[in-house]
Amino acid sequence: MEIDINAINQKAQEESSFLTSLFSEIGKAIIGQKYLIERQLICLLTDGHLLIEGVPGLAKTYSVRVLAQAIDADFRRIQFTPDLLPADITGTEIFNQKKGTFIPKKGPIFANLILADEINRAPPKVQSALLEAMQERQVTIGEETFKLPEPFLVLATQNPIEQEGTYPLPEAQVDRFKLKVVITYPSREEEKIIMDLQTGKKLPEIKPVIKLDDIKRVKEFVKEIYVDEKIKKYILDIVFATRFPEEFGLEELKAFIRYGASPRASIYLLETSRAHAFLNRRGFVIPEDVKAMAMDVLRHRIILSYEAEAEEVSVEDIIRKILDTIEVP
């Protein structure tokens, strides 16, 4: 069956027409952070979850709230603390005195966009409850199982500067997050605009630009975006180079990598490259889409060796070396 790339490309331009007004609406309240907003949208369009790392005060929480308002979605923020219990997230059963029975009371996880603030502050049992909901997209309270709303997106934040009294996410759980992004300070010009905006009389009101039903339709279209066999081979080469670097002329990396990226990396790199192409109004994936997403997909899936830590070689250094070496189709 022959694929009409021109038709897909035309449809991509039509379906992505809402992006201009969406970015414009979000831009009223969020200055800079285009990278973060784009990564949130990519996860939304590919049914993934996002792990955000950055120091306090970079609008991590605010950006999620603004996105929820712009797409007319239900938003909940859960502050993770050491005394949090799984039931505080998923819900519990409460006793109905009139009927003499227990009835389920749903927790804050039943929303479209969940901000899990400082996820590494809660103990493993709570982290597991959240990650189970992320994976299964359902929650069991007592004997009843409830489906989570559609779309369902978890954005978890980690503060990199305070590790005292935290419970780092195990590697297997971190792997459940489709992307891990590291955000930095705004530029001087951006911070001046932020300062003026936040100290003004009134914060801008965000109006919905697109409905959730439209988001569902767009999500289905993103799966149709064309990916050539050469691009798929390129994705596999990048992922396999994290496992067997010596096969790709990267012998010097072998000592630095304890474990390479899991098969999820290949799947997620393909899915997010499609979404990245869509954000750029294209109906087909090009190598630049793969390169743009590789860092965020692989950053938390490569486990470094002690030699890497001793020689101060970072995961980002390894990914950059792989991208510079693997032949682009």
* pLDDT tens profile 242-275: 999 999 998 999 999 999 998 999 999 999 999 9
The pLDDT assigned to 2 comes to 63
Same domain for 163 and 251: no
Give the domain CATH number at 318: 1.10.8.80
Same domain for 315 and 172: no
Tokens read off for 177: 């997050």
Same domain for 179 and 79: yes
The pLDDT assigned to 227 comes to 94
Average pLDDT over residues 50-62: 79
The pLDDT assigned to 129 comes to 83
Average pLDDT over residues 20-33: 85
Q: Which of 162, 183, 212 is the last residue in one of the domains? A: 212
Q: Is residue 217 part of a domain?
A: no
Q: Is residue 39 part of a domain?
A: yes
Q: Is residue 9 part of a domain?
A: no
Structural domains of the chain, count: 2
Domain of residue 311, residue span: 225-325
What whole-number distance in Å separates Cα of residue 276 and Cα of residue 121? Answer: 32
* pLDDT tens profile 107-165: 899 999 999 888 888 888 888 888 778 888 988 888 888 999 988 999 998 876 655 55
Asked if 258 and 305 touch (Cβ cutoff 8 Å), the reply is: yes
Q: Is residue 297 part of a domain?
A: yes
Same domain for 33 and 153: yes
Q: Is residue 15 part of a domain?
A: no
Going from the C-alpha of 182 to that of each of 14, 66, 156, 160, the distances in angstroms are 32, 19, 12, 10
Q: Which of 151, 186, 212 is the last residue in one of the domains? A: 212
Q: Which of 314, 290, 287 is nearest to 300 (CA)?
A: 314
Q: Is residue 218 part of a domain?
A: no
Q: Is residue 155 part of a domain?
A: yes
Tokens read off for 54: 């950055």
Q: Is residue 3 part of a domain?
A: no
Give the domain CATH number at 157: 3.40.50.300
Which helix H or strand E contains 156, and what residues bound it?
A: strand 153-158
Same domain for 86 and 156: yes
